[in-house]
Chain A
């Protein structure tokens, strides 16, 4: 990798993580801001080994869970799984196109919501409707934000 150097992509991931916490929690935007944490884990997983991606998911999940105490541990577990499987998709699909990226981020974010609902028990407390109506919308939002971020990175690269 030339241009932004070998640290360009890690910086992108770091910026996404910081933006996630600043927008969602620091400024109190909540769901109005896209879930850039999941986007960061999914994008990083495409360029890391499964174990490392799982570790990244664990670390970011700890940070996310610290701000939402009811999900402490649950976010970490789900992001570990997401990182692991995200890294595994590299073996199945090598494409790096914007279409694939959008689909990949959409599926990854939706899967995150489903797994989180299962692990926290929310799925048994009546949030199934949200998984079919609200979550896809949030997944589209996250996918769009991720595609834009990668596009900006590639321009800078």
Chain B
């Protein structure tokens, strides 16, 4: 009889609404079982304190890995946005492609492109980036191509100053400290180029269209026999920025006659007319404003708790050609 009563009470508890059961359970935990719950809380806090350092270290390491990945993503995002803006300003025959470095040939400036003959790419097509000239296509197959960049020993380009006064050939050269750079060779001895003078492709030779930024003058390289000068040129495109590129697709015969400088935001002012009565006087300086990079959205720095962990530095913006060049 008594057992039946208790069984009925237990069944009643089973069918009680959840809220009533919770309240009853809370009441029991807060009274009879209070010492047990206090002991449980103490055990949990003790476990947290003991596990804390290793947990914090693991969280810190995860955060560091996340920040490094995010920095890479931000740089990639910036490159793609720049390339997108450039593609809209260039002729439609320029195709986007991705650079895949060949592990054994990365130091030689040789890479594969994800665009090939089926996209209209041909051998000898120029490869450009958001900041300027990268290189050219060497060979093509159906689905891809092999290209060389300006660090490759075989790279050559006919070049000139942005105002079209000084001409020469750019080729790879090691700068101070072994830095990969270019050299503008064959410049006339009497022509003096100031630092940061913008060098662009001249369009001669029919390989590269006119007006593609190559780099800026970094100093005098060497003087040959008193009649020629070579200048060191710091390229506008660094190897780190060669992940996403534009390559010239189906050949457009009219392209070689066009000046693409405006696509990179380069405007060239005509040199002032020389007053022959003032020969010997200092001519007015020429201006070749620096190429403008496409507008970028404001980058938001993620809010970090505690001391931020600095990832590797993002590639520098090669937007450096701003100074007027003294010309002869």
Contacts and interface: CB of A to CB of B under 8 A. Distances in A.
A134 B276 CA distance: 106
Interface in B30-69: 32-33, 35-37, 39-40, 43-44, 47
Interface stretch (A7-15, A67-75, A90-98): A67-75
A69 B14 contact: no
Interface string B1-33: 111001101111111100001101100110011
Contacts of B22: 69
A77 B11 contact: yes
A76 B21 contact: no
Interface stretch (A20-28, A31-39, A136-144, A146-154): A20-28
A51 B3 contact: yes
Contacts of B3: 50-51, 53-55, 80, 83-84
Interface residues of A, number: 31
A54 B291 CA distance: 90
A57 B35 CA distance: 21
A77 B14 contact: yes
Interface string A56-69: 01100111011101
A112 B247 CA distance: 76
Interface of chain B: mostly helix, strand, loop or mixed: helix
B6 A58 contact: yes
B123 to A, nearest CB: 65
A68 B14 CA distance: 13
A84 B2 CA distance: 10
B40 A58 contact: no
Contacts of A61: 10
> Binding site of A, secondary structure by majority: helix, strand, loop or mixed?
helix
Given A76-B13, A77-B10, A26 B28 contact: no
Nearest to A29: B43
A55 B6 CA distance: 6
B10 A58 contact: yes
A25 B40 contact: yes
Nearest to A83: B3
Interface in A69-121: 69, 72-74, 76-77, 80-81, 83-84, 119
Contacts of B33: 21, 63, 66-67
A143 to B, nearest CB: 24
A98 B123 CA distance: 93
A80 B10 contact: yes
B36 A72 contact: no
B111 to A, nearest CB: 55
Contacts of B7: 54, 77, 80-81, 84
A74 B21 CA distance: 12
Nearest to B38: A26
B45 to A, nearest CB: 11
Contacts of A83: 3
B9 A58 contact: yes
Q: Which of A52, A54, A119 has most chain B Cβ within 10 Å?
A: A54
Nearest to A79: B10
A123 to B, nearest CB: 16
Nearest to A74: B14
Nearest to B21: A72
Contacts of B10: 58, 61, 73, 76-77, 80
Contacts of B15: 73
A21 to B, nearest CB: 5
B2 A66 contact: no
B35 to A, nearest CB: 8
Contact of A80 (B6, B28, B43, B44): B6
A16 to B, nearest CB: 15
3 tightest A-B CB contacts, nearest first: A51-B2, A73-B13, A26-B39
Given A21-B33, A66-B33, 14 more contacts: A21-B36, A22-B36, A54-B2, A54-B3, A55-B3, A58-B6, A69-B22, A69-B25, A73-B11, A73-B12, A73-B15, A73-B21, A80-B7, A84-B3
Interface of B: 1-3, 6-7, 9-16, 21-22, 24-25, 28-29, 32-33, 35-37, 39-40, 43-44, 47
5 contacts: A63-B32, A66-B25, A73-B12, A73-B15, A74-B14
